[in-house]
């Protein structure tokens, strides 16, 4: 098998794995009746996933990441604008990483 | 059969426009992946094909070290599934919303499922915008940025510098923080988010960092389901 063939196989396997993840959850829920309780659980997933993205980043980071998180949340609450909030968070992280 | 949710071109445009802030993070990660892929001696075509077909930054970067090892397909498959387990959860969460859409529209929306798009669409939906086009539009912007940036990063290689110094690796985290701040509903969210945070801390602490997001999602879903009183 040439290197190019090998690459094609690896990429195909990776594509299959990614597609499996993107489609299987939706498909599996066919077999679960959507009761109010199940609905409540599903609707909690977005914020829970966001928490799961933020926690390791902040724990592994440190002062810049923690401060960046606070700056983002504060700006979001005060200005009510996503873009401003994200920029404030980025600026805070970038600045503090220069000094810490 | 319930009535299908709206799925319009206007929604698609809305999603695309709103996705620009986190679409920028796809570009940043695409640049980084392209540079790393060049370093791992993938061809430009292979790098682009991988980004176009897999569309998962963390998984693709994780697979690069395995690239020139023997053809170990099982570990590669497992790595990609672990890195993307969160999408299984997101897909499940999308079921009640997408129910009734045609298979084609559903398939398209799921094929371009990405963290930022899911978060953006969830936020829009809680604000009353039920158009599934928003989800797809946001996914497409992120996808386009990701694939194009892979090529640019491949050509520029190390010339792009350290994204960490500029804080650019923080974009997705900031996007989540902003979304949580705007969505925050204490009565509904305190318990599931507390469960999610604990799960993420425990999993990350045990060294299973790649499972942290999926674990947090499962913990939050279970907590959200349990705290429901079972009535309509």
Smallest Cβ–Cβ distance between B221 and the set A44, A69, A73 belongs to: A44
pTM attached to this predicted model: 0.86
Q: Which of A1, A9, A20, A22 to mutate to test the interface with B (most CBs of B within 10 A)?
A: A22
Contact A43 B93 (CB under 8 A): yes
**ipTM of this predicted structure:** 0.88
Backbone angles phi, psi at B67, to 5 degrees: -55, -50
B3 — pLDDT class (breaks 50, 70, 90): confident
Which 3 state secondary structure label does DSSP give A44?
A: coil
What's the CA gap between B196 and B199, in Å, rounded? Answer: 5
Question: How does B74-107 read in b/e, with b if 16+ C-beta sit within 10 Å?
Answer: eebbebbbbbbbbbbbbbbbbbebbbebeeebbe
> How many residues are recorded in chain B?
232
CA distance B165 to chain A (A): 6
Q: Report which of B117, B83, B109, B197 is spatially closest to residue A47, judged by C-alpha positions.
A: B197
Contact of A33 with chain B, judged by CB distance below 8 Å, is answered with no
**B56 contacts in chain A (CB < 8 Å):** 18
Please, how many CA atoms are within 13 Å of residue A93, restricted to the half-sphere of its CB? 28
Closest-CA residue of chain A to B110: A22
CA distance A24 to chain B (A): 6
Token pair recorded at residue B136: 């797809």
Taking the alpha carbons of B174, B176, B182, B184 in that order, is the dihedral positive or negative?
A: negative
B166 — pLDDT class (breaks 50, 70, 90): confident
What's the CA gap between B2 and B184, in Å, rounded? Answer: 29
Smallest Cβ–Cβ distance between A41 and the set B21, B221, B231 belongs to: B221
What's the CA gap between B4 and B104, in Å, rounded? Answer: 13
Across A15-19, A44-48, B145-149, B154-158, least confident range:
B154-158
Task: Give B42-87 pLDDT, tens digit per residue.
Answer: 999 999 999 999 999 889 988 888 887 767 888 889 889 988 999 9
What's the CA gap between B178 and A82, in Å, rounded? Answer: 6
- Does the pLDDT at position B33 exceed 70? yes
How much is the average pLDDT of A4-13?
92
Smallest Cβ–Cβ distance between A39 and the set B42, B96, B98 belongs to: B96
* pLDDT at residue number B230: 64
Q: pLDDT exceeding 90 applies to what percent of chain A?
A: 80
What's the CA gap between B125 and B67, in Å, rounded? Answer: 40
How much is the average pLDDT of A41-60?
92
CA distance A38 to chain B (A): 6
Residue carrying the six token digits 């570990």 = B75
- Does the pLDDT at position B144 exceed 80? yes
User: Residue B152's CB: how many other CB atoms inside 10 A?
Assistant: 14
* pLDDT at residue number B167: 81
């Amino acid at each position: 098998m040439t290197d190019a063939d090998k690459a094609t196989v690896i990429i195909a396997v990776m594509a299959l794995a990614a597609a499996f993840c993107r489609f299987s959850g939706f498909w599996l829920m066919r077999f679960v009746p959507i009761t109010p309780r199940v609905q409540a659980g599903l609707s909690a997933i977005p914020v829970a996933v966001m928490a799961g993205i933020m926690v390791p980043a902040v724990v592994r980071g440190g002062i810049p990441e923690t401060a960046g998180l606070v700056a983002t949340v504060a700006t979001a609450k005060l200005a009510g604008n996503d873009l401003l909030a994200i920029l404030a968070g980025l600026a805070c992280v970038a600045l503090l990483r220069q000094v810490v | 059969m319930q009535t299908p949710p709206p799925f319009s071109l206007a929604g698609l445009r809305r999603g695309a426009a709103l996705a620009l802030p986190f679409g920028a993070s796809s570009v940043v990660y695409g640049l980084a992946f392209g540079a790393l892929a060049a370093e791992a001696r993938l061809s430009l075509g292979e790098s682009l094909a991988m980004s176009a077909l897999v569309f998962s930054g963390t998984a693709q970067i994780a697979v690069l070290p395995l690239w020139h090892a023997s053809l170990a397909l099982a570990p590669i498959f497992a790595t990609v599934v672990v890195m993307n387990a969160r999408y299984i959860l997101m897909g499940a969460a999308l079921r009640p919303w997408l129910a009734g859409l045609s298979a084609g529209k559903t398939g398209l929306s799921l094929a371009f499922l990405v963290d930022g798009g899911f978060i953006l669409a969830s936020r829009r939906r809680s604000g009353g915008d039920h158009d599934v086009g928003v989800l797809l539009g946001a996914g497409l912007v992120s996808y386009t940025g990701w694939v194009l940036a892979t090529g640019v990063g491949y050509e520029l290689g190390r010339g792009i510098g350290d994204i960490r110094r500029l804080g650019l690796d923080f974009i997705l985290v900031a996007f989540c923080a902003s979304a949580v701040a705007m969505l925050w509903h204490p009565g509904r969210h305190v318990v599931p988010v507390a469960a999610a945070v604990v799960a993420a801390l425990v999993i990350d602490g045990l060294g299973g960092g790649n499972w942290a997001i999926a674990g947090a999602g499962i913990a939050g879903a279970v907590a959200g389901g349990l705290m429901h009183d079972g009535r309509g």
